[in-house]
């Protein structure tokens, strides 16, 4: 394995981590607001709050990790993506800012504002939509390079069916991933009412995610034939991904082993996400930038990898502690132990 | 395009983001230490007042951390969005500390989450205090790493430029560049100092309004003592920063001091205004002081602006920023010293209302000094973004939408600043100290 491949694999892993934890967070926010609006707040509110409270900051860090890491390993991405993403990324920052601050103000400041609550729920869908645009752009065809620099063709981007399919997949995935996780979480908390509702949401969103994924593959054939052909080389990964999808839906349908249902979902997304990433290789941005011509020098790459390993040695025990104290602490999950907040 | 200047707009947008972020970042670095001190004193003296102080500060702290996180994410991305050419070049040498900063912050975020939700979970308060240590270390370490990047922009090293390509890159040498020690020390010391003054302002505010509860007296005493210690530290490091500048960035020192001609026995110019043809009026001149500040010797030669190429001189208005920073710093150090002496010798006038009023102003003043200091540091590096290698104008984006984004972020920051301030005020008004003390006393907690 070359340093380039190690670098991009590590980053891809972080992006995958972000997609999972952020989806849970975004979807939970949306369900929480939806239930407020549909007068079912009493069912979902407590379970969602209990999960989100101690972990919200951690979610954001995964994203920061990814973009700091990609500029570190591939400094040329700063030039290409930095130049073209000013508008979409700025919009994403604003949405993330509104969402993050609202969450803290609401939870710790105990303020209640309806318009802010609405913004919180909607940003949960708009953020993944605006971030997923980056994946569409990476397929090429929307960027023009001239002597003045690189620029994004917004007209083409918005008119492209591919970008809308990617948006669709990101939004439906957020709702699906989140619902499956929260079903498991509600089950662990012994909250049957919440579990039943969330299980319904999970089943409701399972089909649409699969359909929009198929739609993307179909459109890729016309938009980026090279990528489409490469995708066939890893078709076996997509098949495995689909089998895990079937397992999740089957377990949810049988109403048992919700934890395994979520683990199967993790594998489903991991296989699909890596199949996409591997077939995208070696391009970071079709056709301008590959991982080889965008790579940093060897010394920096080694330094980053060493820092990364040292950092993980510090973080994994800390994350384990966080999980033991909250996410997987029976007393906490069941709400027996509420007191403690400063 | 009519007057559309992406370089100028990128500079304004970056300045705006940093102006907002630095307020929350300074609090984010300094307050965990203050909380730790209060909780530790509380445990040692078995005094619930200090424990409650730590609790209440923590509650407020979380709100400021939230805004610090989101504005920090903004600046992190804006570095690449607004300065793509700069990041493409500098990223090859200086991404290591940027990467490590993320780890430090991650570490801090995890333990802050745990600390916040485990106040009553441990029988032994000391165990809970232990959880705060990673928070304080994490926040100070992220300040250190990010300041290393800023130091690198001032004194880049750890690479060679050959035919437009960077070669012989050494990330460690780049991190430990000449600007690093003084800059990191100054950032940390002033963050602790400013946070202490901000918290002292809150206590002084209650006393000034006539609420003479012992809780507020204890709070003021603890914060003012800490503020004094870190003011002295900031001043000492500030002096070392002067010596660093004289050696490695003489143009910044010369512009800040309006030192036009290279000369020995250089006087330090304080205040004053600059007339046409660089004539200084109404200034206070301290003989030999600039030579002493720069080289520790009254006869030392200090480089003047005449030895700097004209197109590499920083704007001269940074002198006003320097004045502001130094005046406020010294003033606050004196105020804190007077307060301390007053409490030792039981002076009556330092417990008078007007003196509390003065202390109320301390927090905002300290924050103004922080802003002035950062403007001095950043504007003083102009016209360079990477001193000696890349001018600011070469680093900027060519995007056609920086103006719209500037408006967008203006609105965002207005909302964030107002919302965070209202949330904080309402949170503490709704739950006054007296009521909380009573509740805790009923549960059997003690205050001597």
Does A186 fall in a domain?
Answer: yes
Q: How far is A68 from chain B (nearest CA, A)?
A: 6
A53 pLDDT tier (thresholds 50, 70, 90): low
Given an 8 Å threshold on Cβ–Cβ distance, is A296 in contact with B92? yes
Does A340 fall in a domain?
Answer: no
Can you read off the two tokens belonging to residue B231?
A: 């003011």
Residue B1 has a pLDDT of 47
| Residues A272 and A243: beta-carbon distance below 8 Å | no
Does A342 fall in a domain?
Answer: no
| CB < 8 Å to B409, chain A | 90, 94
Mean local confidence (pLDDT), A274-283: 88
Give Dmax over CA atoms of chain B in angstroms: 75
Task: Give B 74-133 residues with CB within 8 A of chain A.
Answer: 74, 76-85, 87-89, 91-93, 95-96, 98-103, 105-107, 109-114, 116-121
| CB < 8 Å to A83, chain B | 84, 397-399
The answer on pLDDT for B39 being more than 50 is: yes
**A20 vs A13: CA distance, rounded Å:** 11
A222 pLDDT tier (thresholds 50, 70, 90): confident
Residue A336 has a pLDDT of 58
A243 pLDDT tier (thresholds 50, 70, 90): very high
Residue of A36 and B86 predicted with greater confidence: B86
**B78 vs B351: CA distance, rounded Å:** 47
A52 pLDDT tier (thresholds 50, 70, 90): low
| Residues A22 and A173: beta-carbon distance below 8 Å | no
Residue B448 has a pLDDT of 56
Does A283 fall in a domain?
Answer: yes
Nearest neighbour of B119 by CB, restricted to A69, A83, A342:
A342
Mean local confidence (pLDDT), A28-32: 84
Q: How far is A145 from chain B (nearest CA, A)?
A: 12
| Residues A27 and A175: beta-carbon distance below 8 Å | yes
Q: Does the N-terminal peptide bond of residue B435 adopt cis geometry, omega within 30 degrees of 0?
A: no
Lowest mean pLDDT among A46-55, A196-205, B73-82, B361-370: A46-55
Q: pLDDT digit string (tens) for B180-214? A: 999 999 999 999 999 999 999 999 999 898 888 88
**Which pairs with CB-CB distance under 8 Å and at least 24 residues apart come from B15-20?**
B15/B375, B15/B378, B16/B406, B16/B409, B16/B410, B16/B413, B17/B71, B17/B74, B17/B75, B17/B78, B17/B409, B17/B413, B18/B75, B18/B374, B18/B378, B19/B371, B19/B374, B20/B71, B20/B413, B20/B416, B20/B417
Residues 6 or more apart whose CB falls under 8 angstroms from that of B277 comprise: none
Q: How far is A83 from chain B (nearest CA, A)?
A: 6
Given an 8 Å threshold on Cβ–Cβ distance, is B95 in contact with A97? no
Of the residues A318, A335, A337, the best mutation for testing chain B's interface (the one with the most B CB atoms within 10 Å of its CB) is: A318
Q: pLDDT digit string (tens) for B258-289? A: 888 888 888 888 888 887 777 777 888 888 88
Residue B161 has a pLDDT of 85
Residue A239 has a pLDDT of 92
Nearest neighbour of A54 by CB, restricted to B88, B114, B426:
B114
Given an 8 Å threshold on Cβ–Cβ distance, is A297 in contact with B92? yes
Can you read off the two tokens belonging to residue A307?
A: 């820092």
**B415 vs B411: CA distance, rounded Å:** 6
Mean local confidence (pLDDT), B237-257: 89
ipTM of the complex: 0.84
The answer on pLDDT for B69 being more than 50 is: yes
Given an 8 Å threshold on Cβ–Cβ distance, is A100 in contact with B118? no
Q: Does the N-terminal peptide bond of residue A282 adopt cis geometry, omega within 30 degrees of 0?
A: yes
Mean local confidence (pLDDT), A156-163: 88
| CB < 8 Å to B62, chain A | 104, 108, 342
The answer on pLDDT for A41 being more than 70 is: no
Q: pLDDT digit string (tens) for B335-371? A: 999 999 988 888 888 778 888 889 999 999 999 999 9
Q: How far is B45 from chain A (nearest CA, A)?
A: 20
Mean residue pLDDT across chain B: 89
| Residues A44 and A197: beta-carbon distance below 8 Å | yes
Residue B34 has a pLDDT of 94
Q: Does the N-terminal peptide bond of residue A322 adopt cis geometry, omega within 30 degrees of 0?
A: no
Q: What is the separation of C-alpha B19 from the centre of its chain, rounded to a whole number of angstroms?
A: 10
**B66 vs B56: CA distance, rounded Å:** 16
The answer on pLDDT for A331 being more than 50 is: yes
Residue of B255 and A36 predicted with greater confidence: B255
Residue of B419 and B119 predicted with greater confidence: B419
Residue A339 has a pLDDT of 45
Asked if B397 reaches chain A (Cβ–Cβ under 8 Å), the answer is yes
Asked if B46 reaches chain A (Cβ–Cβ under 8 Å), the answer is no
Domain count for chain A, please give it: 1
Q: pLDDT digit string (tens) for A176-221? A: 999 999 888 888 877 888 888 888 888 889 889 989 988 888 888 8
Q: pLDDT digit string (tens) for B114-168? A: 888 777 777 788 888 888 999 999 999 999 999 999 999 999 988 888 887 788 8
**Residue A101 belongs to domain spanning:** 3-333
Report DSSP state, residue B258: T
Given an 8 Å threshold on Cβ–Cβ distance, is A89 in contact with B81? yes
| CB < 8 Å to B171, chain A | 299-300, 303
Report DSSP state, residue A142: S
| CB < 8 Å to B66, chain A | 100-101, 103-105, 108
Given an 8 Å threshold on Cβ–Cβ distance, is A83 in contact with B95? no
Given an 8 Å threshold on Cβ–Cβ distance, is B106 in contact with A315? yes
Residue B277 has a pLDDT of 76
Give Dmax over CA atoms of chain A in angstroms: 64
Mean local confidence (pLDDT), B309-338: 92
Nearest neighbour of A86 by CB, restricted to B81, B102, B420:
B81
Report DSSP state, residue A323: I
Residue B152 has a pLDDT of 94
């Amino acid at each position: 394995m070359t340093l380039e491949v190690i670098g991009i694999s590590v980053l891809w892993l972080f992006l995958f981590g972000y997609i999972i934890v952020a989806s849970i967070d975004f979807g939970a926010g949306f369900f929480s607001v939806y239930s407020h609006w549909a007068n079912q707040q009493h069912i979902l509110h407590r379970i969602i709050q209990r999960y989100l409270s101690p972990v919200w900051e951690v979610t954001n860090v995964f994203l920061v990790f990814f973009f700091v890491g990609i500029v570190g390993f591939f400094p040329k991405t700063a030039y290409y993506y930095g130049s073209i993403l000013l508008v979409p990324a700025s919009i994403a920052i604003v949405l993330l800012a509104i969402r993050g601050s609202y969450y803290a103000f609401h939870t710790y400041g105990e303020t209640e504002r309806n318009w802010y609550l609405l913004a919180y729920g909607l940003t949960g869908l708009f953020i993944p939509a605006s971030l997923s645009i980056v994946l569409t752009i990476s397929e090429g065809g929307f960027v023009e390079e001239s002597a003045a620099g690189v620029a994004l063709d917004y007209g083409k981007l918005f008119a492209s069916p591919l970008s809308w399919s990617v948006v669709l997949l990101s939004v439906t995935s957020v709702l699906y991933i989140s619902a499956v996780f929260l079903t498991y979480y509600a089950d662990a908390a012994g909250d049957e009412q919440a579990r039943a509702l969330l299980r319904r949401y999970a089943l409701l969103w399972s089909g649409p995610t699969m359909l929009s994924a198929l739609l993307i593959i179909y459109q890729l054939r016309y938009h980026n034939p090279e990528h489409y052909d490469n995708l066939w080389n890893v078709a076996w990964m997509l098949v495995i991904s689909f089998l895990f999808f079937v397992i999740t839906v089957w377990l949810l349908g049988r109403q048992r082993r919700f934890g395994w249902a979520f683990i199967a979902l993790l594998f489903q997304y991991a296989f699909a996400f890596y199949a996409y990433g591997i077939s995208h290789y070696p391009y970071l941005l079709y056709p301008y930038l590959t991982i080889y011509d965008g790579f940093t020098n060897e010394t920096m790459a080694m330094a980053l990898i060493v820092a990364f390993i040292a950092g993980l040695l510090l973080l994994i025990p800390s994350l384990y502690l966080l999980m033991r104290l909250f996410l997987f602490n029976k007393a906490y999950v069941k709400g027996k132990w509420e007191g403690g907040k400063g | 395009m009519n007057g559309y200047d992406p370089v100028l707009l990128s500079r304004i947008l970056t300045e705006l983001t940093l102006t907002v972020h630095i307020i929350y970042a300074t609090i984010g670095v300094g307050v965990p230490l203050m909380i730790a001190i209060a909780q530790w004193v509380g445990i040692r003296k078995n005094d619930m007042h200090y424990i409650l102080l730590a609790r209440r500060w923590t509650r407020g702290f979380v709100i400021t951390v939230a805004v610090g996180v989101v504005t920090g994410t903004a600046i992190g991305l804006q570095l690449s969005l607004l300065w793509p050419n700069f990041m493409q070049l500098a990223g090859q040498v200086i991404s290591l500390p940027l990467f490590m900063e993320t780890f430090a912050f991650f570490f801090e975020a995890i333990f802050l989450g745990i600390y916040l939700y485990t106040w009553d979970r441990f029988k032994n308060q000391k165990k809970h205090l232990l959880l705060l240590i990673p928070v304080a270390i994490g926040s100070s370490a992220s300040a250190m790493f990010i300041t290393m990047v800023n130091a690198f922009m001032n004194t880049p090293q750890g690479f060679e430029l050959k035919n437009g390509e960077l070669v012989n890159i050494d990330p460690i040498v780049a991190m430990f560049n000449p600007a690093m020690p003084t800059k990191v020390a100054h950032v940390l010391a002033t963050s602790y100092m400013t946070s202490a003054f901000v918290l002292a302002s809150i206590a002084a505010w209650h006393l000034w309004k006539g609420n003479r509860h012992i809780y507020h007296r204890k709070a003021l005493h603890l914060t003012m003592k800490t503020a004094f210690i870190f003011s002295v530290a900031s001043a000492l490091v500030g002096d070392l920063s002067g010596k660093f500048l004289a050696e490695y960035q003489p143009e910044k020192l010369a512009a800040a001091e309006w030192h036009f001609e290279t000369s020995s026995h250089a006087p330090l110019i304080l205040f004053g205004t600059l007339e046409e043809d660089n004539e200084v009026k109404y200034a206070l001149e301290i003989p030999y002081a600039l030579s002493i500040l720069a080289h520790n010797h009254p006869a030392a030669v200090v480089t003047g602006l005449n030895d700097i190429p004209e197109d590499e001189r920083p704007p001269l208005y940074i002198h006003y920023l320097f004045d502001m920073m130094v005046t406020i710093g010294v003033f606050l150090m004196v105020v804190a010293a007077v307060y301390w002496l007053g409490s030792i010798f039981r002076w009556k006038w330092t417990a008078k209302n007007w003196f509390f009023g003065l202390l109320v102003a301390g927090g905002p003043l300290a924050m103004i000094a922080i802003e002035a200091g950062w403007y001095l540091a950043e504007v003083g590096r102009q016209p360079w973004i990477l001193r000696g290698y890349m001018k600011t104008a070469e680093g900027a984006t060519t995007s056609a939408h920086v103006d719209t984004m500037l408006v967008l972020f203006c609105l965002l920051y207005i909302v964030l600043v107002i919302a965070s301030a209202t949330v904080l005020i309402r949170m503490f008004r709704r739950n006054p100290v007296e009521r909380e003390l009573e509740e805790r006393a009923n549960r059997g907690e003690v205050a001597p």
